[in-house]
Amino acid sequence: MLREHISAGDEIGREAQRLIRTGNLVPDEMVNNLIRLRLVEPDCRQGMILDGYPRTINQASVLLDIMQEDAIRPAVVHLMVDYEKIVARLSGRRQCPVCGTLYSLKTNPPKVAGICDLDGSALVTREDDREPVIRERLREYDSQTLPILNFFREAGVPMIEMNAGEAVPEQIGRRICGELAQSGLIPAVSTSNAGTDVTL
């Protein structure tokens, strides 16, 4: 959502871009308002995955209030990965500035180094994929986001936690779907389809 505003060049986008470039988090009030508006959209009525939100106790509290108001049953998925692997993966990403395609220098490199396979544009490193920015985001995560796991536990929200550093997406998807089904939050999903029925 923030990237949409950044692309539009509006006031929210300009402020968000300034903060992202320095590795700081966007203020809670701005993000909470964006989330509140987004969750009432028709495509969220059957469920949604929030990736990167909430990141603070304040955001988590507001989110639970919103979900209670709208009778949405939440669950938390906490994927644990070694920080050095995160830094290596994110700093190795490149993006086409024209079509938006993402590449990984290690696992999904372009056919020609530095060039988008689809339109031939020169690939760029996103501002938030620079190593100093990534490490600052991880420090912010430790100080602000980890405490919300305890907040959700104390609130009785179902918690799915797994070491995802070595697992492939299909394995992660199957386990998440299985645990969500056991909690009664989604219908049971067959093993053959579980990896494709969830977006990670």
- Provide block-wise average pLDDT over 10 residues at a time, the chain (200 residues): 84 84 80 86 88 88 92 90 90 95 94 96 93 91 86 94 85 91 81 42
Instruction: Look at residues 143, 150, 120, 133 and name the one whose alpha carbon lies nearest to residue 93.
Output: 133
Query: For residue 190, what pLDDT is reported?
Result: 59
Query: 3-state DSSP helix/strand/coil percent for the chain, to nearest 5?
Result: 50, 10, 40
Q: Enumerate the β-bridge partners of residue 161.
A: 78
Half-sphere exposure for 48 (CA within 13 Å, toward CB): 16
Q: Could you identify the residue written with the tokens 């936690």?
A: 161
Query: For residue 199, what pLDDT is reported?
Result: 35
The third-level CATH classification (topology) of the domain covering 1-74 is: Rossmann fold (3.40.50)
Which residue intervals of the chain bear CATH 3.40.50.300? 1-74
- Which pairing describes strands 93-95 and 76-80: parallel, antiparallel, or unpaired? unpaired
Query: For residue 84, what pLDDT is reported?
Result: 92
pTM of the model: 0.65
Name the 3-class secondary structure at 154.
helix
Q: Other CB atoms closer than 10 Å to residue 99's CB: what's the count?
A: 11
The Cα–Cα gap between 73 and 142 comes to 26
Are 23 and 136 in contact by the 8 Å Cβ rule? The answer is: yes
Q: Could you identify the residue written with the tokens 């918690």?
A: 159
